[in-house]
Amino acid sequence: MEETNRQRKIAGVLQKDLVDVLQKAAQDGMKGILISVSKVHVTSDLGIAKVYLSIFPSKNRDEIVKGVQSNTPLIRHEMARRTRHQLRRMPELLFFGDDTLDYIEEIDKSLSGQDENPIENPSILPKRKRS
């Protein structure tokens, strides 16, 4: 199902304000960690917003996403305060870690020849189950 123009607009507003809220929190408590909001997807009833966070360095991703999830009520309150003139109702926020950067890094390693070649050594590929 394709996103409506309203969903895209609300997602853009949320993404812009979430970046400010999360980066301010990261500045205060976590030195050397960069948090960005890579994608916001709003459901068709505008009740739920799925927020994908890209975190650098990625070794801390799971820990930081859990911390953000535990502070969701505070983040939602701050977001409602910031968007009170633009949105009637603040959607429920669901936070997920975005592993796109890791995926790109793995592809980059494979293309540059740093990883072992799966054509020459097929044992490094995961075994597929036959159904």
Amino acid at 72: T
Q: Where are the domains of the chain?
A: 5-116
With a pLDDT cut of 70, the percent of the chain lying above it is: 91
Instruction: Note the pLDDT of residue 126.
Output: 66
CB atoms within 10 A of CB 52: 19
- Residue 55: pLDDT band with limits 50, 70, 90: confident
The answer, yes or no, to whether residue 14 has pLDDT greater than 80, is yes
pTM of the model: 0.77
Does residue 50 surpass a pLDDT of 90? yes
- CA distance linking residue 131 with residue 112, whole number of Å: 34
More confident residue, 82 or 25: 82
d(CA 90, CA 10): 10
CA distance 69 to 100: 20
Please check whether residue 34 is in contact with residue 53, taking contact to mean a CB–CB distance below 8 angstroms: no
Radius of gyration of the chain (CA): 19
Domain topology for 5-116: GMP Synthetase; Chain A, domain 3 (3.30.300)
For residue 131, what pLDDT band results from cuts at 50, 70 and 90?
very low
Q: What tokens does 19 get? A: 């970046």
Average pLDDT over residues 84-100: 90
Q: Which helix (DSSP H) or strand (DSSP E) does residue 103 occupy?
A: helix 100-112
SS3 106: helix
How far apart are alpha carbons 108 and 114 in whole angstroms? 9
Total residue length of the chain: 131
